[in-house]
Amino acid sequence: MPKTPLIKKTPLMEKYEEETGKLAIWKGEVSKQFTKWKQKQEREEIKKEKFNIISQSRIEKKKMKREAKEDKVPGKDYEHLIVVENLHKTYLLGTTAVAALRGVDLTIDTGDFVDIMGPSGSGKTTLLNLIGGLDTPTRGKIFLEGRNISMLNDNDLAEIRRERIGFVFQFYNLLPQMTALENVMVPLHFSGNLSRRGKRKRAMDLLRLVGLDERAHHTPSELSGGEQQRVAIARAFANDPGVVILDEVTGDLDSKTGIMILNLLRDLNKRGATFVAVSHDAAVSEFANKVLHMRDGKLTTEGEIGGMKETSIMELKRKQETEINKEKCKSKIFQFLFANQGKTKIKVMEIKSSIPSSIIMNLPQHFEDILQEMIEENNLVAKIDGELLILQ
């Protein structure tokens, strides 16, 4: 019996032998030269793949530039405030390509409050960044106020962001050394049409709009989280933008303050402001008139999408799913309370964060209402007092 097991010749070994005239298997073992040759082949394969991806995206970009030139600039004469057509975004990470958006179509009209929901990694922020001109797509088009912004250069995009788009982020992003008033004035520095006095007045009016005129001379560290977010909202409106982008704006706030911010946004929306929001907070969708759901880089048909109403069967299915989630949510609350027996005060937020976001994100009601319902159904001696659940 031979000691070494018999090695079967692979097609790659055959290729090696053909190319080099050497044997791939020598004395029953794979030859070292073959292993080296194989590694070199693999390295070259990776290089080729990388080159393909890069040159492919170059060809795409050239094609898009050509198309963008052909799209006339209709100025104010447009049907929808924002039109997104077959939007793709692929990120290149070393040799791998991550397809974050895989063909998104939607329209947004002036006065809409759009909420984009979906699991982590589904492409929400990517979509928001493209709509907000913070990044450019790999393929597809974005029209803002009738202008194709998908192929603009960095300077033109920066101008659009400054003049036509307002941004509010999760962590407020205020300048810490400046007062609330000065923070709201920052975007106005770039607008030449107002005098310094005019800018101060506009900033003050905006702070009044968010109910913070009396705090105008406070710095961010002297303001609560909710107040800082209101300053950020006032700042987003400074240049009278066509659309305001909201990325997880209630993400860092407790649920009560979050609802306060949402009420403010609803007020502003009723006065004509257009919002596009991304959130994990199910409450946001209750304030929106269009709710879009994303999964794996695509929009799933739900709510009003591109002006298309969901069918009654889809609506029924969605409602059934949210009702199931509500029951799951109640049983998770029960488990949490059981594990925390003996405590007399528990933060509602703490209970909420013990529940998987896939459930929280798809509830038919506010989490607090479900908690209340669950307390009543189980005759628990407990009551919700602001941010706390008091147990006796």
Ligand X SMILES: Nc1ncnc2c1ncn2[C@@H]1O[C@H](COP(=O)(O)OP(=O)(O)OP(=O)(O)O)[C@@H](O)[C@H]1O
Specify the pairing of strand 290-295 against strand 298-300. Answer: antiparallel
d(CA 163, CA 239): 6
Which range of residues in 123-131, 199-207, 254-262, 264-272 is near ligand X by CB under 6 A? 123-131
Which range of residues in 52-60, 72-80, 120-128, 170-178 is near ligand X by CB under 6 A? 120-128
Task: Give the one entry of ligand X, Mg ion, none that residue 33 binds, where binding means its C-beta sits below a cut-off of 5 to 8 angstroms depending on kind.
Answer: none
Question: What is the pattern of x (binds ligand X, CB under 6 A) and - over residues 33-72?
Answer: ----------------------------------------
Closer residue to Mg ion, CB minimum distance, 125 or 301: 125
Closer residue to ligand X, CB minimum distance, 46 or 92: 92
Closer residue to ligand X, CB minimum distance, 122 or 179: 122
d(CA 175, CA 183): 6
The least CB distance from residue 124 to Mg ion, in Å, is: 5
Question: Under the rule (CB under 5 A), what is the footprint of Mg ion?
Answer: 125
Place of tokens 């049907």: 79
Closer residue to Mg ion, CB minimum distance, 266 or 280: 280
Binding residues for ligand X, rule CB under 6 A, total 12
- Neighbouring CB atoms inside 10 A of 39's CB total 10
Is 326 in contact with 365 (CB distance < 8 Å)? yes
Which range of residues in 117-125, 197-205, 226-234, 371-379 is near ligand X by CB under 6 A? 117-125
Which range of residues in 63-71, 119-127, 152-160, 369-377 is near ligand X by CB under 6 A? 119-127
- Neighbouring CB atoms inside 10 A of 79's CB total 10
Task: Give the one entry of ligand X, Mg ion, none that residue 121 binds, where binding means its C-beta sits below a cut-off of 5 to 8 angstroms depending on kind.
Answer: ligand X
Closer residue to ligand X, CB minimum distance, 127 or 374: 127
Q: Which helix (H) or strand (E) holds 389?
A: strand 388-391
Is 276 in contact with 108 (CB distance < 8 Å)? yes
Place of tokens 């693999």: 42
Nearest 5 degrees, angle CA 345-CA 358-CA 109? Answer: 110
Q: Note the maximum CA span of the chain.
A: 98
Please name which of 342, 345, 347, 338 lies closest in space to residue 390, comparing C-alpha atoms. Answer: 345
Q: Which helix (H) or strand (E) holds 103?
A: strand 96-108
- Neighbouring CB atoms inside 10 A of 75's CB total 9
Task: Give the one entry of Mg ion, ligand X, none that residue 98 binds, where binding means its C-beta sits below a cut-off of 5 to 8 angstroms depending on kind.
Answer: ligand X
Verify binding: residue 122, ligand X, rule CB under 6 A.
yes
Closer residue to ligand X, CB minimum distance, 126 or 136: 126
Task: Give the one entry of ligand X, Mg ion, none that residue 122 binds, where binding means its C-beta sits below a cut-off of 5 to 8 angstroms depending on kind.
Answer: ligand X
Which residues inside 90-109 make contact with ligand X, applying CB under 6 A? 91, 93, 98, 100
How far does the chain reach from its first CA to its final CA, in angstroms?
80
Positions that interact with ligand X (CB under 6 A) = 91, 93, 98, 100, 118, 120-126
